[in-house]
Structure 1
Amino acid sequence: MTITHLRHVDLAVPDFATQRRFYTETWGLSETGVDSGLSYLAAEGSPERYVIRLRQADEKRLDLIAFGAADPAAVDALAARLATADVRLVAEPGPLQTAGGGYGFRFFDVDGRTVEVSADVEVRAHRRVAEGEAVPVRLSHVVLNSTDIARTRAFYETHLGFRHSDTLWQSHMGDLMYFLRCNDWHHSLAIAAGPHASVHHVSFEMRGLDEYMRGTGRVMRAGIKKIWGPGRHLAGNNTFSYFLDPSGNTMEYTTELERLDHDVWHPHVYDVDDPMTQDQWGTADPMSELIAKESFNDVDRGAFVAPPV
């Protein structure tokens, strides 16, 4: 596969101080650096220098999604292939100026999101998360809303080498979500049908079921709006608890995401009208239009506009 893993998701927010408090005091991330209106937030169990970057801005937007590549040669090869395929590059491959450095480049995906691919980024000193410690271990996956999910899926499969894991489907609406993988995790990226391009949700892996539930309870006790959960999905077999951050982005705690054997795995089509598809446990409220709309998010103002940093 061209892409090795998901590195980080970068968000521009008008309520910078409030968001910093939410992610450090409530969500359980560690701030590893602050620089001119930028906050770099790491997961304790992850070697990535940061998994969320906040940027102070007048307007909310997705700044970029960052993926890893094996080495600088893979970065150069991908950039050359994208340029040949008329994918619009934001910057040619070169040294990165953000925390952790490395070698990479940026481009726009088919929906106008800025995507970064990098290699040789410095790793951070991380640790094994202790039993009972309800903080994120790593960034699990990101789900994106798209008005044409087949086109967006094709872009990531064709140009970045993602593989299709599973599909959510409904008899009257057709395909609703595609789960895509870049390694043996069931999905690092998913594409959801929505009214506009935006972030659907960003997901964080917890140590285990106990830590997942403890974290869910802590966020609930802090008065953060819970959208859906706790429960366990069928596709990916992972748990879910979804909350709205102060800017209205949906954030998820999850654990036990399935790992796949590429040689034997065949994608499934799961009917969302089957209650077991959405929640095998039956502990979450049934999926409804009201719940679904919470993760449509605002129209992303960053389409085909590269972030300033």
Structure 2
Amino acid sequence: MDRPIAGVFCASVTPVTADLAPDHAAFVAHCRHLIEQGCDGVALLGTTGEANSFSGSERKALLEAAVSAGIAPDRLLPGTGVAAWSETVDLTRHALSLGVTRVVMLPPFYYKGISDDGLFAAYAEIAERVADPRLKVVLYHIPQFSGVPITFPVIERLRARYPDTFVGIKDSSGELNNMLALVERFPNFSVLAGADPLMLPLLRQGGAGCITATSNLVASDLAFIFRNHADPAKAAEVDAAQARVVAARTRVSQFAQIASIKTLLARSTGHANWANLRPPLLPLTAAEAAEL
């Protein structure tokens, strides 16, 4: 099966300084650590990365910092989808100007209850205006946050008109059956799990990997699972790694997930600033942090 994008991609958190500015140096160091741990790439500026709490200029500067520091552009999958499709075009063009050809794209998410025709029109407008054959888009299906589900008919229409552009989907609905149905219906399309524990069962049915939050903490286990899930000789090791992934995901789900991941990174790195979040998100309380 030809999967245009495959592997373990970390839905990276975004470090911020005490005055809540993006911390470029800490982010670059985190990217390097994730790649050393076995991640195939870093999906920055998504939900876990607090993307919608950053301006367009801040998002561009973070991506520029990563590329300027030597993180290979083909290792980066920035989130470029915002409520205004014209700004999505701008962020996507900016990524391409840096040699970053793969992006993760939310649907326009402010208006709810939009038709399939409307959603298709928005994505088509973006593709037409970016007009760059290098572009590879991973659609971002997270209806519990966006309020705008990406339906199968919309994917079908986008694949028919732009088969070389819309090449995959990050499914963060948490519904394995939906992911498996996507694999079955859309050959040569990368279906990536948005929840860490679901990567393994998805891989076993033809999935392409994951873009997940807990990979900030257990990247090496996810990478081991991805590379060895089909090897019967490694079955016990894969099961053990999967158990650690599930335990880590359960751990960071006791309290607010992003704050929990950042709290644990602050502890593991020794840098207290990792615990900072941009309002309206807040750090864990002292009691929550202690229990975590």
Fold equivalence (TM over 0.5): no
TM-score normalised per structure 2? 0.31
Higher strand proportion: 1
